[in-house]
Amino acid sequence: MSSTLDPTGQQKPVTRSVGGVAEPPPNSHLPPLIKATGITAPAAPGVIEECGVEPHVLTDLALRLCNTVPRLTSEWAAQQLRLPLGIVDKIFWQLRDDLLLEILGQDSGNFRYSITQRGREYARRLLEVSGYVGPAPVSLEAYAAMLEWQMSKQGRPTYESVRHALGSLVLPDEAVQVASLAASSGRSLFLFGPSGNGKTSLGRSLHGVLEGELWIPHCVSVESHVIRIFDPQCHQLLQPSTVGDARVDQRWMRIRRPMVIAGGEMTIDELDLAYSPSLRFYEAPPHVKANGGLFLLDDFGRQRINSVDLLNRWIIPLEQHVDYLTLATGQKIRIPFRLMLIVATNLRVDAISDPAFLRRIGYRVHVDKPDEQRYAEIFRRYVESAGMQMDPGLITTIIQRYRDEKRELRASEPRDLVERCRDICNLKRIAPRIDRELLDLAWRGYFGAGGV
């Protein structure tokens, strides 16, 4: 990839070259790309036709925006719509020619506008179709092409990087190896085993090996339908030096590769487009927001739907790397499924699994309860990370107590016991430490005085 300058000194879109000869992008829907302050970014459109969506989508959106305020300038509207000022000026002049806007005056070369009564009536009709007001959309095809191109450029995690990401966990070597294979290949990962032994922690930690950033749009359009992709609850927005750069398409935002977690509260309906009748636009489902990153389906089997039905929902996406979502009109749309899917459960695999799904799952890891040696290492590490002092030989006493009370060891319990010792020290206003007296009180407070 390289960038060149045209005779005016502006950067041309980035292209591929073979033997010094420019080669067109492999996907005609891929937005033109430029190098801006060392970052490859989507280039700002120069005219309405280069925005990639039907012109009426932009003019309708602009009029809905005008309907929200008593007066506005094209410069302010350009900031709200994330479109170049020249394009917004052209849209506003068209709306003025259609008697939907009127010019109130001019300040420093920037026109002030107000929506007319005719414009308000037309805007109300538009709001019956779509209530979306915000940054202008890109096309669904551009989103899919941009995601595919970016994923082809992402580096593959190595065994060493996965070991480093999982360094805070005490896991068998085999589990680390299988997790490394899943992360490196981009295939899905099925984690199973008794609760409290690190499945969720393992899944979350794998997000740390997904290096790099992504450009995603605020929203996409399918004809007159708008689907919001960007979600501040799911996406960590990076503030590159390209913010406000007139050369860069401001409809796209640069984010860290995402991690989205869905738990036992998830329903099958949440895996399709969420349409708001009051707002009249769509919210992308969680796995679409996770595109380019990691989607963790935690506590699988506890959802309020049949587990086999939920597993079958992933068969086509896992096999074809695309998903099919349904608009309120019944129309099906095709959207990319480019993410690492991790499914974690503490239920028996044969009770919740479907053979067709398991054939398509990439890798499986049995995250079992720790043996005494692993338990002791987990305890030691957590005490050290908590900066607390511990009486010598105390871990041997703890493990013996597990034996005496016939308790199974769990990888999460060292953390829980240490934190309760810290609570006791805070309550008594003493330096954080762990001794037999404090541990006995913590043990009874955690497991119950009766040893239940």
Q: Encode pLDDT of 338-385 as tens digits.
A: 999 999 988 777 776 667 777 778 899 999 999 999 999 999 999 999
pLDDT for res 16: 42
Phi, psi values for residue 7, rounded to 5°? -60, -20
361: helix, strand or coil = coil
The Cα–Cα gap between 45 and 39 comes to 18
Lowest mean pLDDT: which of 166-175, 237-246, 283-292, 313-322? 237-246
- Please answer whether residues 43 and 25 qualify as being in contact, where contact means their C-beta atoms are separated by less than 8 angstroms: no
pTM of the predicted structure, to 2 decimals: 0.86
- Please answer whether residues 341 and 295 qualify as being in contact, where contact means their C-beta atoms are separated by less than 8 angstroms: yes
* Chain centre to alpha carbon of residue 423: 35
Task: Report the candidate in 233, 316, 232 with the shortest Cα–Cα distance to residue 271.
Answer: 316
Domains along the sequence of the chain with CATH: 54-129 (1.10.10.10), 154-212+257-366 (3.40.50.300), 372-447 (1.10.8)
The Cα–Cα gap between 265 and 37 comes to 43
Is pLDDT at 3 greater than 50 in this prediction? no
The Cα–Cα gap between 449 and 452 comes to 8
Residue recorded with tokens 């009486």: 391
What are 106-160's pLDDT values in tens digits?
877 788 999 999 999 999 999 998 999 999 999 999 999 999 999 999 988 999 9
Residue 85 burial (10 A CB sphere; 0-12, 13-18, 19+): middle
257: helix, strand or coil = coil
Separation in Å, CA 287 to CA 163, 322, 338 = 26, 11, 9
pLDDT for res 107: 79
SS3 content of the chain, % helix, strand, coil (to 5): 40, 20, 40
